[in-house]
Structure 1
Amino acid sequence: MTDLSCKVLVLGAGPGGYVCAIRAGQAGLDTIIVEKAAPGGTCLNVGCIPSKALIHAAEQFHTVAHAATGHSALGILTSSPKIDLAKTMSWKDGIVRQLTGGVSGLLRKAGVRKVDGEARILDGKTVEVQTADGLLRISCEHLVIASGSVPIEVPSLPFGGDILSSTEALSLETVPETLAVVGGGYIGLEIGTAYAKLGAQVTILEARPQILPQYDSELSRPVQARLKALGVEVHLNAQASLYANGVLQVKTSDGDLVVPAQKVLVTVGRRPVIADCGADSLGLDMQGRYIKINGKCQTSMREVYAIGDVTGEPMLAHRAMAQGEIAAAMIAGEAASWEKRAIPAVCFTDPEIVVVGHLPDEARAANADAAVATYPLRANGRAMTLERTDGFVRIVHEKKSGLVLGIQAVGAGVSEFAGEFALALEMCATLTDIAATIHAHPTLGETVQEAAWAGLGKALHA
C-alpha cells in the first residue's frame, strides 16, 4: 500500500469539489483531489452539459422538421430532414471532453494533485483509494466531502436494459419510437421534450397533481401547453408500477393505463452519495438524509467539510461551486460564510423557467405587504421576431418600499435572465432601481424593466 499526505483532501471532482481544490491550490495549500471518473462530476459528464447539448440539437432538428411541413411563417422550406443521433452524441461527447480536459488543466495549474480511483473514508483524517495500480492511503489535515449524488431507483423499475436513468438517456444512439418518462420534474421534462422534438412519442407520468411541482401552476402552465403542442401526453396523479415486453403499467386516479414504451426514463430525484464513500462511518450530524453543515460548510467533526449535493437541496452545480469557495477560504484561514440572498434555479424546459427568490405565495405568507407585477412576452418586440411569445416575467416585491423579494420568468431564452435576477436580489434592488436602469432595445430583457414599471403603476407598453 502506498501512502500520501496533504493539507487538503477533496473527495469528488464535481463542480463543488474542483472549485474547492482549485481555490485551495491557489491559496498555496498542498491539495489532493480524488475522483473515480472524469473531472467535472455529474454536471459536466452526464448531466447539465450533455442535456443542454441534446436540447439544442433537438430544437435545431425540430425547427427544420417544422419547416418541412410547409407551415413555417418565415417562408423557410426544406424537405425530409433526418437525425443521425449517434453523430449528435459524438458532438456532445466532444464538448464534454473539452470541458473536462479544461478542468484537469485548471487543477494542474493550481498545483492540485489528482488521484484517479474510488475513495472510502476511514476516519476524519484518512482515506483509502482503490486505484488502477492498487490501494492508496491518503492522510490529510482537512477533509472536504464533495461526493455528489446519483439518480434514485424505483424498486419496481430497476435501472438496466430498457429502463434508463438520465445518464443512459443522454447516450442513446437511436431515437426510441416510444418513450415513457416517470417523473415530471425538470430533468424528466428537459430530456422528454428533447426526444419528442427528435420524433419520439413521449408520455410523461407524474405522481403529483402538477408537473414541476416545486413551482406554482402559473409558471408550469406554459410548459404544459407546449408539451401538448408537441404531442406529448401528460398523466398526473400517475404511478408507474410494472414494465414488461415494451409496455408500462400505470395506476392513475382515473383508473389503470397501459403505456407503450420502447424505453422508460426514470427521473424521480437524486440521493446523496454518503454511505457509498464511507462518510456515514464518521457519525456526522445529519439533516434528514443529508450531511448537516453550518454557514461555513463545516460538519459536526472538526476539520471535516461538506459541500454540494451531499448537503441537501437545492442540488445545483452553482450552489456547490459557491460552497466550494467558502470551504477553501475557511481552510486557508480567511473569513468566509454563506451570505447569499438568492440561488437562481433554471429549468431548460420549453419554454424555459428561471426562478430566483420568493414565489408569490411564499412571499405573501411571510410578508403581508407582498405584491406581484407581471409583464407578458407577447408584448415584447424581440419575442415576436423569435416567434415565441408564450410566457411572462414576474417580479414579487414589497408594495410600500418596492424591495424586490423574488423574480421569475417563463419563456424561450429566459434562462439568460438568471444573472440579472440574482443580482437584483443580492443588491437589494427596488422596482425603481430596475425600472430606471436602461435595458437595450430590442431585447427580451426589456420585459424585466417593463414588469418593474408595471409594479410602480407606470406600465409603458402594456
Structure 2
Amino acid sequence: MADVEKKDTVIIGAGPGGYVAAIRASELGQKVTLIEKSDTLGGVCLNVGCVPSKALIQAGHRLEQAEDGSTYGISTKSATIDFKKTQEWKQTKVVDRMTSGVQMLMKKHHVDVVNGEAVFLSDTQLRVMPTGEKQFMSTDTGQTFEYNNLIIATGSHPIQIPNFKFEGRVVDSTGGLNLPEIPKEFVVIGGGYVGTELAGAYASLGAHVTIIEGTKSILPNFAKDMVSVVLKKLKKKGVDVITNAMAKKSEQDDKSVSVTYAVDGKETTIKADYCMVTVGRKPNTDTLGLEYTKVKLNDRGLIEVDNQGRTASEHIWAVGDVVPGAALAHKAFAEAKTAAGAISGEKTANDWLSVPAVCFSDPEIATVGYSEAAAKDKGIKVKTAKFPFAGNARAVSLDAPDGFFRLIYTDDDNKNVVGAEAVGFEASTMAGEMSIIVNDGMNVEDVALTIHPHPTLNEPIQESADIAMGLPTHV
C-alpha cells in the first residue's frame, strides 16, 4: 500500500456543498483537497439537476410564447422546436459553461482536486480508489490520506421503487432531463418539486403529461391555496394529475412503456413514450465506510450534525443532502460556509428557519420561515396578510395575474414576520428579500416602510405589510 499522505482539510464530493466548502476553506487559509468520483465538478444540481432543469423550463416557456402572442395583439406563425438543438444548448451553453466555471474557481483557490471514490479507514484516515474499484482496497492503485479535518458532501441519489427499474424507457430525473425526443405521452411518478417542474416543462414543450402522486395532492409541503394556483396552470397545459395513486408496475418494449397504478384498489394501465420516477432521494452515505468512524446516522441514513455541521467525530463535518433538512443547493452553500468557518475557529452557525424553498413550477412557488400551519404547531399565534398579483401592475402587464404574496406575522403588538409565501410569475426572485425579512426579524412596519420601486413584481411584499398594518393601498 502506498505511503500515507498528510492533508489539512479534505472534502468528499464536489457538488454545491463540496465546492463551496473548498472555496471558503481556502479563503480562510486552509489547504484543501477535494475528492470527486465523477469526471465533472458541480454535483447533481449543476450537471443533472436544478440548473439543466431550469434550462428546459425556460425553453418550454419560450416555445409557448412563440406559439401564441395573441394576448398582446401579436400574430405568430406556428413555432417548431428542434429538441436535439435544445439539448445541445442546455449542455454546452449552460451546464458545461457552469462546470468549467467551478473548475476555474478550484484552480484560483489552489484546491487540489483528486478523482476517485473515498472510503473511511478511521476518524482521521481514508482511502481513495479509482472510481468503480473500491472492491480492490488491498491493491496499490489508490491513495491513503490522513487529514486534520474532513467535510462530507457526497449528496444523494434518486430512490428506485419496485417494478420500475431505471432502464430503457423508465428513467430517473437525470434521464428525464436528457430524453432524446419530446415524448408525445409522458408519465411522471411523484408530484414533488422535481416531478412537478419537469411535468410542466415537458407539457410546455408539447407533451401530454400524466402525474401519478401517492398523496392527496402534488407539492404536499406547500399550502393548499398555493398549490391550487399551480394545478390550475397544469390543467390549462393539459396535464392529468392523479392523486392518492400507487404505482404498481411497468412493462416496456422498444417503442413504449405501460404503467399500471392503483387508486382505491382499482388498477389502471396507461401507455407512454417514457416514464420518469421522481419519488425522492437517498443520501450517499452507505458506501463511505462510516462504520469505521464515530459518525452517527439517523434511521434515514442521514448524518447527525450540530448547528455548525460537526458530526460525532471531532475531525469530521457534513453538509448538504447527507444531513437532515431540505435537500436544497442553497442550503448546502450556507452549510458549507458555516462548516469551513467553524474549522477555522469562527463562531458560525446555521439558521435553517430562513432557508428559502423554491419550486420552479408554473407559476413558481417560494416560501421562507413558518407557514401559518407550522407556526400554530409551534404554539405561535399568527395572523396573515395576503396581496393578489392581480392587483400588481407589473404582473398584469406581463399577462401573469395569477397568484399572491402572503406575510405570516405574530398576533401581538410587535407583529414580527415569521414567514413569507409567494406563488406567481417569477416568485423565485422574491425569495431573497423574503429571507432577509425573516432572518432579520423584521416586523410588518419595517416592511411597510421599505419603499419598493414601481412597477415591479416585488411590490406585493410591501402591499401585504400595508394590509397587516390595517392601511391597504391597492386593494
Coarse TM-score class (shorter-chain normalised)? over 0.9
**Which consecutive residues of structure 2, in runs of 5 or more, have no partner in the other structure?**
132-139
Contact 1:179/1:202, CA 8 A, preserved across alignment: yes
Matched, 1:201 2:208: yes
| Alignment CA distance shift 1:386-1:303 (3 Å) | same
Q: Distance in 2 between matches of 1:283 and 1:65?
A: 58
Is 1:214 matched up with 2:221?
Answer: yes
Per-residue deviation, residues 97-148 of structure 1 (Å, max 9, x unmatched): 1111111111111111000122222222222222379322222111211111
The correspondence of residues 140-159 of structure 1 with structure 2, limited to 5 A, is 140-159=147-166
**Deviation at residue 73 of structure 1 after TM alignment:** 1.4
Secondary structure of residue in 2 paired with 1:291:
coil
Q: Kindly provide the amino acid, as one letter, of the partner of residue 270 in structure 2.
A: V
- 1:91 maps to 2:89: yes
The answer for the alignment partner of 2:145 in structure 1 is 138
Deviates more, 1:10-19 or 1:287-296: 287-296
1:254 Cα deviation after fit = 7.2
Distance 1:66 1:115 in 2: 50
The code of the aligned residue for 1:215 comes to F
TM-score normalized by the length of structure 2: 0.94
Q: Tell me which moved more, 348-357 or 138-147.
A: 138-147
2:51 paired residue number: 49
Q: For 1:234-245, what aligned pairs fall within 5 Å after superposition?
A: 234-245=241-252
Q: How many residues align?
A: 458
* Cα deviation, residue 280, structure 1: 4.2
Q: Percent identity?
A: 38
Return the offset for 1:286.
2.1
Q: Is 2:271 the partner of 1:272?
A: no
Aligned to 2:134: none
AA matched with 2:201: A
The residue aligned with 1:76 is 74
1:233 counterpart letter in structure 2: D
Does residue 169 of the first structure (1) align with residue 170 of the second (2)?
no
Distance 1:17 1:231 in 2: 40
Which residue in the other structure is 2:104 paired with? 105
Cα distance, 1:403–1:382 mapped onto 2, change above 3 Å: same
Specify the SS of the correspondent of 1:409. strand
1:313 aligns with 2:311: no
Query: Could you tell me which residue of structure 2 aligns to residue 364 of structure 1?
Result: 376
AA aligned opposite 1:66: D
Structure 1: stretches of 5+ with no match in the other structure = none
Separation in structure 2 between the aligned mates of residue 332 and residue 362 of structure 1, nearest angstrom: 35
The residue identity in structure 1 corresponding to 2:229 is: P
Does the residue aligned with 1:349 lie in a helix, a strand or coil? coil
The 1-side partners of 2:141 and 2:296 are apart by 32
1:436 to 449, 465, 468: 449
Report deviation, 1:368.
5.2
What corresponds to 1:24 in structure 2?
25
CA distance in 1, matches of 2:54, 2:103: 22
Root-mean-square deviation (Å): 1.5
Residue 213 of structure 1 and its aligned partner are, at CA, apart by 0.6
Is 1:408 aligned with 2:421? yes
Q: Say whether the 8 Å CA contact 2:18–2:336 is kept in structure 1.
A: yes
Deviation at 1:283, TM superposition (A): 4.8
Task: Write the mapping of 1:116-135 to structure 2, written as runs, cut at 5 A.
Answer: 116-131=115-130, 134-135=141-142
Once residues 279 and 196 of structure 2 are traced to their aligned partners in structure 1, the CA distance between those partners, rounded to angstroms, is: 11
What secondary structure, in the 3-state scheme, does the structure 1 residue paired with 2:68 have? helix
Q: Offset at 1:178?
A: 0.7
CA–CA separation in structure 1 for the residues paired with 2:384 and 2:99: 42
Normalised to the residue count of structure 1, the TM-score between the two structures is 0.96
Whole-Å separation in 1 of the counterparts to 2:409 and 2:447: 12
